[in-house]
Amino acid sequence: MNWKNLDELKAFDALKNTEPVNVRDVMTGSNGADRVKNYSVPMAEGMAYNYAAKAVDDKILDQLQALADEAELTQKYAALYNGEVINTGEKRLVLHHLCRSQLGKDVVVDGVNKREFYTTQQQRIAEFANKVHSGELTNEKGEPYKIVVQIGIGGSDLGPRAIYLALENWAKVNNKLKMEAKFISNVDPDDASAVLYGLDVEHALFILVSKSGTTLETLTNGAFVQDALKKAGLDPAKHMIAVTSETSPLAKNEGFMDAFYMDDYIGGRYSTSSAVGCAVLSLAFGPDVYADFLNGAAKADETAKDPDIRKNAALLDALIGVYERNVLGYDTTAVLPYSQALSRFPAHLQQLDMESNGKSVNRYGDPVNYVTGPIIFGEPGTNGQHSFYQLLHQGKTIVPLQFVGFKESQMGNDVVIEGSTSQKKLCANVSAQIVAFACGKDDDNPNKRFDGGRPSSVIIGEKLTPASLGTLLAHFENKVMYQGFTWNINSFDQEGVQLGKVLAKRVLAHDTDGALAVYSDLFEI
Protein backbone atom coordinates (compact mmCIF):
# COMPACT_ATOMS: atom_id res chain seq x y z
CA MET A 1 0.00 0.00 0.00
CA ASN A 2 0.90 3.63 -0.44
CA TRP A 3 1.73 5.21 2.93
CA LYS A 4 2.22 8.89 2.09
CA ASN A 5 1.97 12.02 4.18
CA LEU A 6 -1.17 14.10 3.65
CA ASP A 7 0.73 16.92 1.94
CA GLU A 8 2.20 14.47 -0.59
CA LEU A 9 -1.22 13.55 -1.97
CA LYS A 10 -2.38 15.20 -5.19
CA ALA A 11 -5.98 15.03 -4.01
CA PHE A 12 -5.09 17.12 -0.97
CA ASP A 13 -3.61 19.85 -3.17
CA ALA A 14 -6.82 19.86 -5.20
CA LEU A 15 -8.89 20.02 -2.02
CA LYS A 16 -6.97 23.04 -0.75
CA ASN A 17 -7.66 24.87 -4.01
CA THR A 18 -11.40 24.14 -4.02
CA GLU A 19 -13.74 27.04 -3.31
CA PRO A 20 -14.91 26.82 0.33
CA VAL A 21 -18.58 26.61 1.23
CA ASN A 22 -20.39 29.32 3.17
CA VAL A 23 -22.41 27.33 5.69
CA ARG A 24 -24.77 30.21 6.36
CA ASP A 25 -25.65 30.60 2.70
CA VAL A 26 -26.21 26.92 1.94
CA MET A 27 -28.24 26.27 5.09
CA THR A 28 -30.66 29.18 4.66
CA GLY A 29 -34.14 28.68 3.19
CA SER A 30 -35.05 25.90 0.77
CA ASN A 31 -31.38 25.10 0.11
CA GLY A 32 -30.97 24.17 3.75
CA ALA A 33 -34.09 22.02 3.70
CA ASP A 34 -32.80 20.08 0.68
CA ARG A 35 -29.39 19.57 2.29
CA VAL A 36 -30.88 18.18 5.50
CA LYS A 37 -32.88 15.68 3.43
CA ASN A 38 -30.02 14.65 1.15
CA TYR A 39 -26.79 15.00 3.12
CA SER A 40 -27.32 11.96 5.30
CA VAL A 41 -25.62 8.56 5.50
CA PRO A 42 -27.36 5.50 7.01
CA MET A 43 -25.55 3.84 9.89
CA ALA A 44 -26.10 0.50 11.61
CA GLU A 45 -29.01 -0.01 14.03
CA GLY A 46 -31.22 2.50 12.19
CA MET A 47 -29.00 5.46 13.00
CA ALA A 48 -27.94 8.14 10.54
CA TYR A 49 -25.05 10.58 10.17
CA ASN A 50 -26.37 13.93 8.89
CA TYR A 51 -23.76 16.40 7.68
CA ALA A 52 -26.00 19.03 6.06
CA ALA A 53 -24.57 21.81 8.24
CA LYS A 54 -20.95 20.98 7.44
CA ALA A 55 -18.94 23.22 5.12
CA VAL A 56 -19.04 20.80 2.18
CA ASP A 57 -20.87 20.51 -1.13
CA ASP A 58 -20.89 17.92 -3.89
CA LYS A 59 -17.65 19.24 -5.36
CA ILE A 60 -15.83 19.02 -2.04
CA LEU A 61 -17.33 15.59 -1.43
CA ASP A 62 -15.89 14.45 -4.75
CA GLN A 63 -12.50 15.82 -3.69
CA LEU A 64 -12.74 13.97 -0.38
CA GLN A 65 -13.60 10.80 -2.27
CA ALA A 66 -10.50 11.28 -4.41
CA LEU A 67 -8.45 11.78 -1.25
CA ALA A 68 -9.82 8.57 0.26
CA ASP A 69 -9.05 6.67 -2.94
CA GLU A 70 -5.52 8.02 -3.36
CA ALA A 71 -4.68 7.40 0.31
CA GLU A 72 -6.13 3.86 0.00
CA LEU A 73 -7.98 4.31 3.27
CA THR A 74 -10.34 1.33 3.12
CA GLN A 75 -7.48 -0.87 1.96
CA LYS A 76 -5.57 0.17 5.07
CA TYR A 77 -8.58 -0.65 7.20
CA ALA A 78 -8.65 -4.11 5.63
CA ALA A 79 -4.92 -4.50 6.31
CA LEU A 80 -5.59 -3.64 9.96
CA TYR A 81 -8.34 -6.20 10.58
CA ASN A 82 -6.52 -8.83 8.51
CA GLY A 83 -3.57 -8.67 10.88
CA GLU A 84 -0.85 -6.51 9.36
CA VAL A 85 1.51 -4.63 11.68
CA ILE A 86 -0.29 -1.26 11.72
CA ASN A 87 1.07 -0.05 15.08
CA THR A 88 4.54 0.81 13.75
CA GLY A 89 5.72 2.47 16.97
CA GLU A 90 5.40 -0.74 18.98
CA LYS A 91 5.51 -3.12 16.00
CA ARG A 92 2.13 -4.61 16.89
CA LEU A 93 -1.06 -5.69 15.22
CA VAL A 94 -4.27 -3.77 15.96
CA LEU A 95 -7.11 -6.21 16.55
CA HIS A 96 -9.88 -4.68 18.65
CA HIS A 97 -12.30 -5.25 15.76
CA LEU A 98 -11.82 -9.01 16.18
CA CYS A 99 -13.36 -8.80 19.64
CA ARG A 100 -16.73 -8.21 17.99
CA SER A 101 -16.56 -9.88 14.57
CA GLN A 102 -14.41 -11.58 11.96
CA LEU A 103 -14.26 -8.89 9.27
CA GLY A 104 -11.74 -10.64 7.05
CA LYS A 105 -9.43 -13.63 7.06
CA ASP A 106 -8.25 -15.48 10.17
CA VAL A 107 -5.49 -13.72 12.09
CA VAL A 108 -3.09 -16.29 13.51
CA VAL A 109 -0.12 -15.18 15.65
CA ASP A 110 2.38 -17.71 17.05
CA GLY A 111 -0.10 -20.46 16.30
CA VAL A 112 -2.98 -18.71 18.10
CA ASN A 113 -6.15 -17.73 16.25
CA LYS A 114 -6.74 -14.30 17.75
CA ARG A 115 -10.48 -14.19 17.06
CA GLU A 116 -10.84 -17.49 18.93
CA PHE A 117 -8.67 -16.15 21.76
CA TYR A 118 -10.90 -13.10 22.25
CA THR A 119 -14.17 -15.02 22.03
CA THR A 120 -12.84 -17.64 24.46
CA GLN A 121 -12.22 -14.91 27.02
CA GLN A 122 -15.71 -13.52 26.41
CA GLN A 123 -17.17 -16.99 26.99
CA ARG A 124 -15.13 -17.47 30.17
CA ILE A 125 -16.34 -14.11 31.48
CA ALA A 126 -19.94 -14.94 30.55
CA GLU A 127 -19.73 -18.20 32.49
CA PHE A 128 -18.20 -16.42 35.47
CA ALA A 129 -20.85 -13.67 35.41
CA ASN A 130 -23.68 -16.19 35.18
CA LYS A 131 -22.30 -18.05 38.20
CA VAL A 132 -22.12 -14.80 40.16
CA HIS A 133 -25.67 -13.86 39.19
CA SER A 134 -27.05 -17.32 40.00
CA GLY A 135 -25.35 -17.41 43.40
CA GLU A 136 -23.09 -20.31 42.48
CA LEU A 137 -20.08 -18.07 43.19
CA THR A 138 -20.32 -16.31 46.55
CA ASN A 139 -18.24 -14.55 49.17
CA GLU A 140 -16.64 -16.41 52.07
CA LYS A 141 -19.95 -16.43 53.97
CA GLY A 142 -21.79 -18.02 51.06
CA GLU A 143 -23.63 -14.77 50.36
CA PRO A 144 -24.11 -13.22 46.89
CA TYR A 145 -22.09 -10.38 45.45
CA LYS A 146 -24.25 -7.33 44.88
CA ILE A 147 -21.90 -4.71 43.48
CA VAL A 148 -18.92 -4.69 41.11
CA VAL A 149 -16.08 -2.16 41.24
CA GLN A 150 -13.62 -1.69 38.38
CA ILE A 151 -10.09 -0.56 39.30
CA GLY A 152 -8.22 0.82 36.29
CA ILE A 153 -7.12 4.02 34.63
CA GLY A 154 -7.18 5.49 31.12
CA GLY A 155 -8.75 3.06 28.69
CA SER A 156 -9.43 0.63 31.54
CA ASP A 157 -11.74 3.22 33.06
CA LEU A 158 -13.01 5.83 30.57
CA GLY A 159 -14.63 3.56 27.98
CA PRO A 160 -16.20 1.00 30.35
CA ARG A 161 -17.38 3.76 32.69
CA ALA A 162 -18.97 5.72 29.80
CA ILE A 163 -20.73 2.61 28.51
CA TYR A 164 -21.95 1.56 31.96
CA LEU A 165 -23.41 4.99 32.67
CA ALA A 166 -24.99 5.04 29.21
CA LEU A 167 -26.86 1.80 29.88
CA GLU A 168 -27.47 1.93 33.63
CA ASN A 169 -30.95 3.47 33.48
CA TRP A 170 -31.91 1.49 30.38
CA ALA A 171 -31.03 -1.65 32.33
CA LYS A 172 -33.09 -0.58 35.33
CA VAL A 173 -36.31 -0.11 33.39
CA ASN A 174 -35.72 -3.27 31.33
CA ASN A 175 -34.95 -5.42 34.40
CA LYS A 176 -31.38 -6.00 33.19
CA LEU A 177 -29.36 -4.42 36.00
CA LYS A 178 -27.74 -7.40 37.70
CA MET A 179 -25.16 -5.50 39.78
CA GLU A 180 -24.48 -1.83 40.34
CA ALA A 181 -21.03 -0.83 39.09
CA LYS A 182 -18.59 1.72 40.43
CA PHE A 183 -15.15 2.77 39.22
CA ILE A 184 -11.85 3.70 40.87
CA SER A 185 -9.24 5.28 38.61
CA ASN A 186 -7.36 8.26 40.05
CA VAL A 187 -4.35 7.55 42.27
CA ASP A 188 -5.67 10.38 44.44
CA PRO A 189 -6.64 8.51 47.63
CA ASP A 190 -9.85 10.53 47.80
CA ASP A 191 -11.10 8.71 44.68
CA ALA A 192 -10.80 5.23 46.19
CA SER A 193 -11.95 6.50 49.59
CA ALA A 194 -15.07 8.07 48.10
CA VAL A 195 -16.05 4.79 46.41
CA LEU A 196 -15.23 2.68 49.46
CA TYR A 197 -16.92 5.00 51.95
CA GLY A 198 -20.17 3.37 52.95
CA LEU A 199 -19.66 0.58 50.39
CA ASP A 200 -20.85 -2.86 51.39
CA VAL A 201 -17.43 -4.41 50.75
CA GLU A 202 -18.59 -7.74 52.14
CA HIS A 203 -20.81 -8.13 49.07
CA ALA A 204 -18.54 -6.34 46.56
CA LEU A 205 -16.54 -7.88 43.75
CA PHE A 206 -13.51 -5.90 42.54
CA ILE A 207 -11.94 -6.08 39.07
CA LEU A 208 -8.27 -5.06 38.86
CA VAL A 209 -7.48 -4.13 35.25
CA SER A 210 -3.89 -3.79 34.08
CA LYS A 211 -2.53 -5.33 30.89
CA SER A 212 1.06 -5.33 32.13
CA GLY A 213 0.21 -5.91 35.76
CA THR A 214 2.57 -3.04 36.63
CA THR A 215 0.46 0.13 36.16
CA LEU A 216 1.39 2.30 39.16
CA GLU A 217 -1.98 3.97 39.71
CA THR A 218 -3.94 0.74 39.33
CA LEU A 219 -1.70 -1.34 41.59
CA THR A 220 -1.76 1.42 44.20
CA ASN A 221 -5.55 1.48 44.16
CA GLY A 222 -5.62 -2.31 44.19
CA ALA A 223 -3.53 -2.31 47.36
CA PHE A 224 -5.83 0.38 48.78
CA VAL A 225 -8.82 -1.90 48.23
CA GLN A 226 -7.04 -4.97 49.57
CA ASP A 227 -6.24 -3.04 52.73
CA ALA A 228 -9.89 -2.05 53.12
CA LEU A 229 -10.99 -5.67 52.67
CA LYS A 230 -8.51 -6.91 55.26
CA LYS A 231 -9.60 -4.24 57.74
CA ALA A 232 -13.16 -5.48 57.26
CA GLY A 233 -11.99 -8.99 58.15
CA LEU A 234 -12.39 -10.23 54.58
CA ASP A 235 -10.13 -12.30 52.34
CA PRO A 236 -9.19 -10.17 49.28
CA ALA A 237 -8.77 -13.32 47.20
CA LYS A 238 -12.51 -13.97 47.58
CA HIS A 239 -13.40 -10.48 46.37
CA MET A 240 -11.05 -9.72 43.47
CA ILE A 241 -10.57 -10.83 39.88
CA ALA A 242 -8.00 -9.59 37.38
CA VAL A 243 -8.15 -8.56 33.74
CA THR A 244 -4.60 -8.68 32.44
CA SER A 245 -2.24 -10.34 29.96
CA GLU A 246 -1.30 -13.98 30.28
CA THR A 247 2.31 -13.04 31.05
CA SER A 248 1.64 -10.42 33.74
CA PRO A 249 2.24 -10.99 37.48
CA LEU A 250 -1.54 -10.81 37.97
CA ALA A 251 -2.15 -13.90 35.84
CA LYS A 252 -2.60 -17.19 37.71
CA ASN A 253 -2.14 -15.27 40.95
CA GLU A 254 -3.50 -16.81 44.15
CA GLY A 255 -4.58 -13.36 45.30
CA PHE A 256 -7.45 -13.38 42.77
CA MET A 257 -10.52 -15.54 42.29
CA ASP A 258 -9.83 -15.70 38.57
CA ALA A 259 -8.06 -13.86 35.76
CA PHE A 260 -9.30 -13.02 32.27
CA TYR A 261 -6.96 -12.11 29.47
CA MET A 262 -6.27 -9.49 26.84
CA ASP A 263 -3.14 -9.00 24.77
CA ASP A 264 -0.84 -6.35 23.33
CA TYR A 265 -2.92 -6.08 20.16
CA ILE A 266 -5.75 -4.28 21.99
CA GLY A 267 -4.92 -0.67 22.87
CA GLY A 268 -6.34 0.70 26.10
CA ARG A 269 -8.64 3.29 24.54
CA TYR A 270 -9.94 0.63 22.14
CA SER A 271 -10.39 -2.01 24.85
CA THR A 272 -14.07 -1.68 25.81
CA SER A 273 -14.81 -4.51 23.36
CA SER A 274 -12.21 -6.72 25.04
CA ALA A 275 -12.12 -8.38 28.46
CA VAL A 276 -11.55 -4.89 29.90
CA GLY A 277 -15.15 -3.91 29.18
CA CYS A 278 -16.58 -7.41 28.98
CA ALA A 279 -16.00 -8.29 32.65
CA VAL A 280 -17.54 -5.24 34.31
CA LEU A 281 -20.37 -4.82 31.79
CA SER A 282 -21.29 -8.52 31.78
CA LEU A 283 -21.38 -8.53 35.57
CA ALA A 284 -23.43 -5.34 35.62
CA PHE A 285 -25.95 -6.14 32.89
CA GLY A 286 -25.50 -9.78 31.95
CA PRO A 287 -23.60 -11.37 29.04
CA ASP A 288 -26.61 -11.11 26.72
CA VAL A 289 -26.68 -7.32 26.98
CA TYR A 290 -22.96 -7.12 26.38
CA ALA A 291 -23.37 -9.37 23.33
CA ASP A 292 -25.99 -6.97 21.92
CA PHE A 293 -23.54 -4.11 22.44
CA LEU A 294 -20.83 -6.00 20.53
CA ASN A 295 -23.25 -6.84 17.72
CA GLY A 296 -24.07 -3.17 17.25
CA ALA A 297 -20.36 -2.40 17.03
CA ALA A 298 -19.79 -5.25 14.58
CA LYS A 299 -22.46 -3.90 12.22
CA ALA A 300 -20.80 -0.48 12.28
CA ASP A 301 -17.43 -2.08 11.54
CA GLU A 302 -18.94 -3.76 8.50
CA THR A 303 -20.33 -0.50 7.08
CA ALA A 304 -16.91 1.10 7.63
CA LYS A 305 -15.50 -1.16 4.89
CA ASP A 306 -17.40 0.60 2.07
CA PRO A 307 -15.03 2.64 -0.16
CA ASP A 308 -17.86 5.05 -1.12
CA ILE A 309 -17.68 7.90 1.39
CA ARG A 310 -21.35 8.71 0.79
CA LYS A 311 -22.23 5.27 2.17
CA ASN A 312 -19.57 5.04 4.88
CA ALA A 313 -20.43 7.34 7.78
CA ALA A 314 -17.19 6.79 9.72
CA LEU A 315 -15.02 7.46 6.66
CA LEU A 316 -16.97 10.56 5.65
CA ASP A 317 -16.97 11.91 9.21
CA ALA A 318 -13.20 11.39 9.34
CA LEU A 319 -12.51 13.13 6.03
CA ILE A 320 -14.70 16.11 6.84
CA GLY A 321 -12.73 16.38 10.08
CA VAL A 322 -9.43 16.36 8.18
CA TYR A 323 -10.79 19.04 5.83
CA GLU A 324 -11.81 21.20 8.79
CA ARG A 325 -8.46 20.72 10.51
CA ASN A 326 -6.06 21.02 7.59
CA VAL A 327 -7.84 23.27 5.10
CA LEU A 328 -10.26 25.39 7.13
CA GLY A 329 -7.86 25.58 10.09
CA TYR A 330 -10.19 24.66 12.95
CA ASP A 331 -8.34 23.46 16.05
CA THR A 332 -11.14 22.05 18.18
CA THR A 333 -14.19 19.79 17.98
CA ALA A 334 -17.04 19.79 20.51
CA VAL A 335 -18.94 16.54 21.11
CA LEU A 336 -22.47 17.38 22.25
CA PRO A 337 -24.68 14.38 23.09
CA TYR A 338 -28.29 15.35 23.74
CA SER A 339 -28.69 12.41 26.08
CA GLN A 340 -27.87 12.52 29.77
CA ALA A 341 -26.97 8.83 29.57
CA LEU A 342 -23.97 9.83 27.45
CA SER A 343 -22.65 12.18 30.13
CA ARG A 344 -19.18 10.57 30.15
CA PHE A 345 -19.02 9.75 26.44
CA PRO A 346 -17.19 13.01 25.53
CA ALA A 347 -14.55 12.18 28.15
CA HIS A 348 -14.00 8.80 26.52
CA LEU A 349 -13.77 10.42 23.08
CA GLN A 350 -11.19 12.86 24.43
CA GLN A 351 -8.86 9.97 25.14
CA LEU A 352 -9.81 8.03 22.02
CA ASP A 353 -9.13 10.95 19.69
CA MET A 354 -6.40 12.97 21.42
CA GLU A 355 -4.32 10.02 22.60
CA SER A 356 -4.59 8.39 19.18
CA ASN A 357 -3.98 11.33 16.86
CA GLY A 358 -2.11 13.85 18.96
CA LYS A 359 1.09 13.25 17.00
CA SER A 360 3.75 15.36 15.28
CA VAL A 361 5.61 12.58 13.46
CA ASN A 362 4.35 10.12 10.86
CA ARG A 363 4.16 6.38 11.26
CA TYR A 364 7.88 6.13 10.39
CA GLY A 365 8.96 8.72 12.96
CA ASP A 366 9.52 11.57 10.47
CA PRO A 367 8.13 15.03 11.33
CA VAL A 368 4.94 16.06 9.53
CA ASN A 369 4.39 19.59 8.22
CA TYR A 370 0.71 19.81 9.12
CA VAL A 371 -1.46 19.68 12.23
CA THR A 372 -3.09 16.41 13.21
CA GLY A 373 -5.72 15.57 15.85
CA PRO A 374 -8.07 18.28 17.14
CA ILE A 375 -8.74 19.21 20.75
CA ILE A 376 -11.89 17.40 21.90
CA PHE A 377 -14.28 18.55 24.60
CA GLY A 378 -17.97 18.34 25.33
CA GLU A 379 -20.89 18.03 27.71
CA PRO A 380 -24.45 16.78 27.33
CA GLY A 381 -27.15 19.10 26.01
CA THR A 382 -29.01 21.02 27.19
CA ASN A 383 -26.57 21.61 30.08
CA GLY A 384 -23.87 22.80 27.71
CA GLN A 385 -26.20 25.42 26.25
CA HIS A 386 -26.12 27.17 29.61
CA SER A 387 -22.35 26.84 29.91
CA PHE A 388 -19.95 27.20 26.96
CA TYR A 389 -22.34 27.66 24.01
CA GLN A 390 -21.95 31.44 24.34
CA LEU A 391 -18.41 31.17 22.99
CA LEU A 392 -19.49 28.66 20.35
CA HIS A 393 -22.18 31.03 19.04
CA GLN A 394 -20.48 34.43 19.29
CA GLY A 395 -16.82 33.86 20.07
CA LYS A 396 -14.09 34.58 17.52
CA THR A 397 -13.03 30.93 17.48
CA ILE A 398 -15.08 28.67 15.21
CA VAL A 399 -15.50 25.22 16.74
CA PRO A 400 -16.93 22.38 14.62
CA LEU A 401 -19.72 20.60 16.48
CA GLN A 402 -20.68 16.94 16.66
CA PHE A 403 -24.22 16.48 17.98
CA VAL A 404 -25.78 13.14 18.97
CA GLY A 405 -29.52 12.81 19.56
CA PHE A 406 -32.27 10.21 19.93
CA LYS A 407 -35.96 10.42 19.08
CA GLU A 408 -37.04 8.46 22.15
CA SER A 409 -35.95 8.63 25.78
CA GLN A 410 -34.30 5.61 27.39
CA MET A 411 -36.58 5.23 30.38
CA GLY A 412 -39.90 6.04 28.73
CA ASN A 413 -40.94 8.24 31.63
CA ASP A 414 -42.07 11.66 30.43
CA VAL A 415 -44.72 14.29 30.90
CA VAL A 416 -46.48 16.78 28.64
CA ILE A 417 -45.83 20.38 29.64
CA GLU A 418 -47.06 23.30 27.51
CA GLY A 419 -48.05 20.99 24.68
CA SER A 420 -44.91 18.86 24.37
CA THR A 421 -42.96 16.23 26.26
CA SER A 422 -39.50 16.75 27.76
CA GLN A 423 -38.02 14.49 25.08
CA LYS A 424 -39.59 16.59 22.33
CA LYS A 425 -38.17 19.70 23.98
CA LEU A 426 -34.74 18.05 24.06
CA CYS A 427 -34.94 17.15 20.35
CA ALA A 428 -36.24 20.63 19.53
CA ASN A 429 -33.12 22.06 21.15
CA VAL A 430 -30.84 19.89 19.00
CA SER A 431 -32.59 21.01 15.82
CA ALA A 432 -32.63 24.65 16.88
CA GLN A 433 -28.95 24.69 17.83
CA ILE A 434 -27.84 23.21 14.50
CA VAL A 435 -29.73 25.88 12.56
CA ALA A 436 -28.75 28.68 14.93
CA PHE A 437 -25.07 27.80 14.64
CA ALA A 438 -25.29 27.51 10.85
CA CYS A 439 -27.55 30.44 9.96
CA GLY A 440 -27.00 32.92 12.78
CA LYS A 441 -29.16 36.03 13.12
CA ASP A 442 -28.85 39.61 11.88
CA ASP A 443 -29.50 42.39 14.37
CA ASP A 444 -28.78 46.12 14.48
CA ASN A 445 -27.49 45.58 18.00
CA PRO A 446 -24.01 44.02 17.62
CA ASN A 447 -24.42 42.29 20.99
CA LYS A 448 -27.42 40.39 19.63
CA ARG A 449 -25.90 39.59 16.23
CA PHE A 450 -24.95 36.01 15.38
CA ASP A 451 -22.62 35.57 12.41
CA GLY A 452 -23.55 31.92 11.89
CA GLY A 453 -21.35 29.81 9.65
CA ARG A 454 -20.58 27.43 12.54
CA PRO A 455 -20.38 23.90 11.06
CA SER A 456 -21.95 20.87 12.70
CA SER A 457 -23.04 17.31 12.10
CA VAL A 458 -25.55 15.19 13.99
CA ILE A 459 -25.91 11.46 14.56
CA ILE A 460 -29.59 10.61 15.00
CA GLY A 461 -30.92 7.37 16.46
CA GLU A 462 -34.28 6.01 17.53
CA LYS A 463 -33.27 5.16 21.09
CA LEU A 464 -30.08 4.59 23.05
CA THR A 465 -29.89 0.82 23.51
CA PRO A 466 -26.95 -1.59 23.92
CA ALA A 467 -26.85 -2.20 20.16
CA SER A 468 -27.11 1.46 19.12
CA LEU A 469 -24.48 2.35 21.73
CA GLY A 470 -22.15 -0.25 20.22
CA THR A 471 -22.71 1.32 16.81
CA LEU A 472 -21.95 4.77 18.21
CA LEU A 473 -18.72 3.62 19.87
CA ALA A 474 -17.47 1.81 16.77
CA HIS A 475 -18.33 4.81 14.57
CA PHE A 476 -15.98 7.05 16.52
CA GLU A 477 -13.27 4.39 16.81
CA ASN A 478 -13.33 3.95 13.04
CA LYS A 479 -13.46 7.70 12.44
CA VAL A 480 -10.31 8.22 14.53
CA MET A 481 -8.59 5.33 12.76
CA TYR A 482 -9.40 6.74 9.31
CA GLN A 483 -8.11 10.17 10.28
CA GLY A 484 -4.86 8.63 11.48
CA PHE A 485 -4.49 6.84 8.15
CA THR A 486 -5.15 10.09 6.28
CA TRP A 487 -2.52 11.95 8.31
CA ASN A 488 -0.14 8.96 7.92
CA ILE A 489 0.43 8.79 11.67
CA ASN A 490 0.33 5.88 14.12
CA SER A 491 -2.95 6.13 16.01
CA PHE A 492 -2.18 3.12 18.19
CA ASP A 493 0.71 4.06 20.47
CA GLN A 494 0.88 6.80 23.10
CA GLU A 495 4.44 7.75 23.91
CA GLY A 496 3.20 11.11 25.19
CA VAL A 497 1.76 9.32 28.22
CA GLN A 498 5.09 7.87 29.30
CA LEU A 499 7.43 10.77 30.09
CA GLY A 500 5.45 12.06 33.05
CA LYS A 501 5.25 8.53 34.47
CA VAL A 502 9.03 8.15 34.29
CA LEU A 503 9.63 11.45 36.06
CA ALA A 504 7.04 10.64 38.73
CA LYS A 505 8.92 7.44 39.55
CA ARG A 506 12.11 9.49 39.91
CA VAL A 507 10.36 11.82 42.33
CA LEU A 508 9.13 8.92 44.46
CA ALA A 509 12.64 7.43 44.45
CA HIS A 510 14.05 10.84 45.52
CA ASP A 511 16.18 10.85 42.38
CA THR A 512 15.63 14.48 41.43
CA ASP A 513 17.49 17.65 40.59
CA GLY A 514 16.75 21.12 39.23
CA ALA A 515 13.14 22.19 38.97
CA LEU A 516 11.91 18.66 39.62
CA ALA A 517 13.65 18.63 42.99
CA VAL A 518 12.16 21.99 43.99
CA TYR A 519 8.64 20.96 43.00
CA SER A 520 9.12 17.78 45.04
CA ASP A 521 10.08 19.89 48.04
CA LEU A 522 7.06 22.16 47.56
CA PHE A 523 4.80 19.12 47.84
CA GLU A 524 6.88 17.70 50.72
CA ILE A 525 7.30 14.37 48.92
Please give the single-letter amino acid code of residue 86: I
Whole-number Cα distances in Å, 357 to 70, 372, 466: 21, 6, 27
- The DSSP string of 485-519 is HHHT--TT--GGGHHHHHHHHHHHTT---HHHHHH
Cα separation, 53 vs 401, in Å, equals: 10
Is 180 in the active site?
no
Quickly count: other Cβ atoms within 10 Å of residue 361's Cβ.
Answer: 15
Helix (H) or strand (E) holding 181: strand 180-184
Cα separation, 272 vs 294, in Å, equals: 10
Cα separation, 420 vs 416, in Å, equals: 5
Cα separation, 228 vs 308, in Å, equals: 55
Whole-number Cα distances in Å, 236 to 106, 142, 208: 39, 15, 12
Which residue in the list 45, 355, 379, 477 is annotated as catalytic? Answer: 355
Cα separation, 266 vs 260, in Å, equals: 14
Which residue in the list 16, 37, 501, 505 is annotated as catalytic? Answer: 501
Whole-number Cα distances in Å, 458 to 54, 393, 515: 10, 17, 47
Is 355 in the active site?
yes
How many CA atoms lie less than 13 Å away from 490 in the CB half-sphere?
23
Please name the residues in contact with 252: beta carbons below 8 A apart, sequence gap of 6 or more.
259
How many CA atoms lie less than 13 Å away from 68 in the CB half-sphere?
30
Which residue in the list 16, 386, 448, 505 is annotated as catalytic? Answer: 386
Is 501 in the active site?
yes
Active-site positions read 355, 386, 501
